A and B are shown apart, each in its own frame.
Chain A
């Protein structure tokens, strides 16, 4: 049994006049206590929709199917009624740009107190004491609770947003692009914070990002998403040194590295549209290893070795693929 297991998650957006966009296509992954999983992909690949879907936070125009097992109980089955008791309490999220979503006219501390009282974690004096502890746990001196968001730097606001997400002692923290707008030194501080929250408190982390090096730095495993589906999943070390999907390999090759040799290479073309049925492999038009079968037959995500899977026909053809 995993702490969290997402199975065959699908999200469709109704585009009106009978058209649909299949944004998330059969996504599945699991998360153990204290584990750090990266969900990586480029804009439009469905990574944010996946987490909003599993938290039941999508707008009514979206329909969601699949199972989200929290300690073996499907919280998606009963819709809002079964999700609500777990949202923030077991599964907390730091949204992209959360640091800019703090209420500017309230002190940071009072906003955390509000969360604690809303979720009946603590009240009054107890809530204020707990707020101090939460701020401390993310590296903010507790006496800063009386400050307003504009008196905080970007890094401090992001820490405050993380403190707020931790208010109900969740076992899982989902962080959507938590360092994207931050400078590299502040990014390092936040990554170190997330790292210690996982190792010190056993928090499980689902890190959603477009930034492969950030995942390589922080995560144990990663799932690479393309066109709404996971195309490869495995330990981060294996993804870099022995990728089993050409997209993974090409994405690493497109990423500049401080001490890397040669120039990064872009991937020609663009992802397919998801508002019409996909034929063949969604990556075949951009793939440097595509062959006849890729055009007609969609590859399924298949387990290759223990803990490794990929959705690519090449894995059937030869042992040494990419």
Chain B
């Protein structure tokens, strides 16, 4: 369906992102060493066209930073980001501009991402105006109508002149998605796209993303919700403290987890059926902060099966089961 065969749309290699920790004037005068939040420490993955990769993990694991780096919204310390075969890691903003059109972001909160003073028509048309695309005014209108139809706001005429406050949460998120796809992007990055919405409308938004994926878009979805990832992702990458600790086809990761962190995480996901009440494997505490990373395997202080070697060896992501895991015991 596309000319590029199986070449990944996005290829991230050994990405590292750190944020400096403010040490204050006192710290600077005392020449205390600069410290860093190790937000992302050597992350690699690919997303193909027509594929949805879910980055899952708890808050602070680096999943949002990873997505922001892919979109070149934060600067990586090292690593390489390829988009459609070209290295975009070091592109300056002018050179990035034509690429921005091809990679779009969908935010978590449709109540905040839409400008309350813009009508649906204006909100969806705005990206075309900014990128000077879409030709004549009449052509642009046609494109706006198309985009609204694709997000199933039908008939579009009914919605064109409405304002965000006249729409439900689900409709707002559809408008936000319409504004993202009106430019005809290749990649969508969706950061918790349904977590602010009611359960009864979530599935509709997710099916919409699924349809866009089917039509050939690559989608990187950030989520903390493993059940959603299990149902809608082609592949799942589980992050812990800035690293991908397990990665593979969604069903394989969910049904045959290899990493003890993934196993624990899956064991505590509440199920719909009370008869399936889980034998929960609750890890104590919360993820340690990303300033002081434990030596060896970063999960070792909370790991139920850690052995002395785990304090020494920082495991790489390697084949385990029929996918990848970073654990010497997998």
B272 near A216: Cβ-Cβ < 8 Å: yes
Q: Give 16 A-B contacts (CB < 8 Å), ordered by A residue.
A: A43-B198, A183-B224, A183-B286, A184-B224, A188-B282, A189-B284, A212-B199, A217-B278, A256-B227, A256-B228, A258-B271, A259-B230, A259-B276, A260-B272, A267-B200, A268-B204
- Chain B residues near A146: list those with CB within 8 A: none
Q: CB within 8 A of B203: which of A42, A214, A264? A: A264
CB of B263 within 8 A of chain A? no
A184 near B271: Cβ-Cβ < 8 Å: no
Q: CB within 8 A of B199: which of A155, A184, A236, A254? A: A254
Q: CB within 8 A of A213: which of B231, B254, B271? A: B271
B265 near A155: Cβ-Cβ < 8 Å: no
Size class of the contact patch on chain B = 35 or more
CB of B313 within 8 A of chain A? no
Chain B proximity of A190: nearest CB distance (Å)? 10
- Chain A residues near B232: list those with CB within 8 A: 256, 263
Interface residues of B in 180-214 (CB under 8 A from A): 198-207, 210
Given A240-B272, A264-B203, A266-B203, residue A184 in contact with residue B282 (CB < 8 A): no
Q: CB within 8 A of B272: which of A183, A212, A263? A: A212
CB of B266 within 8 A of chain A? yes
- Chain B residues near A260: list those with CB within 8 A: 227, 231, 272
Chain B proximity of A113: nearest CB distance (Å)? 26
Query: In the complex, A267→B280 CA distance in Å?
Result: 31
B282 near A266: Cβ-Cβ < 8 Å: no
Could you list which residues of chain B lie within 8 angstroms of chain A, going by C-beta atoms? 58-59, 168-170, 198-207, 210, 224-228, 230-232, 254-255, 264-266, 268-278, 280, 282-284, 286
Interface residues of A in 227-265 (CB under 8 A from B): 236-237, 240-241, 250-252, 254-260, 263-265
Chain B proximity of A66: nearest CB distance (Å)? 27
B203 near A184: Cβ-Cβ < 8 Å: no
B202 near A192: Cβ-Cβ < 8 Å: no
CB of A82 within 8 A of chain B? no
A257 near B200: Cβ-Cβ < 8 Å: no
CB of A153 within 8 A of chain B? yes
Q: Which 7 A-B pairs have the closest CB atoms?
A: A266-B204, A213-B270, A188-B268, A183-B58, A266-B203, A267-B200, A217-B270
Query: In the complex, A48→B224 CA distance in Å?
Result: 25
CB of A64 within 8 A of chain B? no
Query: In the complex, A210→B282 CA distance in Å?
Result: 23
Query: In the complex, A258→B227 CA distance in Å?
Result: 4
Given A155-B286, A236-B274, A266-B204, residue A184 in contact with residue B269 (CB < 8 A): yes
A211 near B270: Cβ-Cβ < 8 Å: yes
When each residue 131-153 of chain A gets 1 if its CB lies under 8 Å from chain B and 0 otherwise, what string results? 00000000000000000000001
A184 near B265: Cβ-Cβ < 8 Å: yes
Given A185-B268, A259-B255, residue A153 in contact with residue B202 (CB < 8 A): no
Query: In the complex, A40→B283 CA distance in Å?
Result: 27
A237 near B227: Cβ-Cβ < 8 Å: no
- Chain A residues near B202: list those with CB within 8 A: 254, 256, 264, 266
- Chain A residues near B58: list those with CB within 8 A: 183-186
- Chain A residues near B207: list those with CB within 8 A: 263, 266
Interface residues of A in 140-195 (CB under 8 A from B): 153-155, 183-189, 191-192
- Chain A residues near B230: list those with CB within 8 A: 256, 258-259
Q: CB within 8 A of A185: which of B204, B227, B276, B283? A: B283
CB of A292 within 8 A of chain B? no
Closest B residue, CB atoms, query A269 = B200
CB of A318 within 8 A of chain B? no
B200 near A185: Cβ-Cβ < 8 Å: no
A257 near B282: Cβ-Cβ < 8 Å: no
Closest A residue, CB atoms, query B302 = A185
CB of A270 within 8 A of chain B? yes
- Chain A residues near B264: list those with CB within 8 A: 185
Chain A proximity of B185: nearest CB distance (Å)? 24
Query: In the complex, A237→B207 CA distance in Å?
Result: 28
Chain B proximity of A110: nearest CB distance (Å)? 24
- Chain A residues near B280: list those with CB within 8 A: 188, 192
Given A185-B286, A188-B280, A256-B230, residue A214 in contact with residue B275 (CB < 8 A): no
Chain B proximity of A61: nearest CB distance (Å)? 21
B168 near A270: Cβ-Cβ < 8 Å: yes
Query: In the complex, A305→B94 CA distance in Å?
Result: 69
- Chain B residues near A191: list those with CB within 8 A: 270
B272 near A186: Cβ-Cβ < 8 Å: no
Chain A proximity of B192: nearest CB distance (Å)? 12
Given A254-B199, A256-B231, residue A214 in contact with residue B286 (CB < 8 A): no
B275 near A217: Cβ-Cβ < 8 Å: no
Query: In the complex, A290→B146 CA distance in Å?
Result: 33
Closest B residue, CB atoms, query A187 = B268
Chain B proximity of A261: nearest CB distance (Å)? 10
Given A184-B58, A189-B282, A237-B274, residue A255 in contact with residue B268 (CB < 8 A): no
Query: In the complex, A259→B199 CA distance in Å?
Result: 18
Q: CB within 8 A of A252: which of B168, B201, B272, B278? A: B272
Closest A residue, CB atoms, query B268 = A188
Query: In the complex, A187→B275 CA distance in Å?
Result: 20
Query: In the complex, A212→B168 CA distance in Å?
Result: 21
Chain B proximity of A28: nearest CB distance (Å)? 23
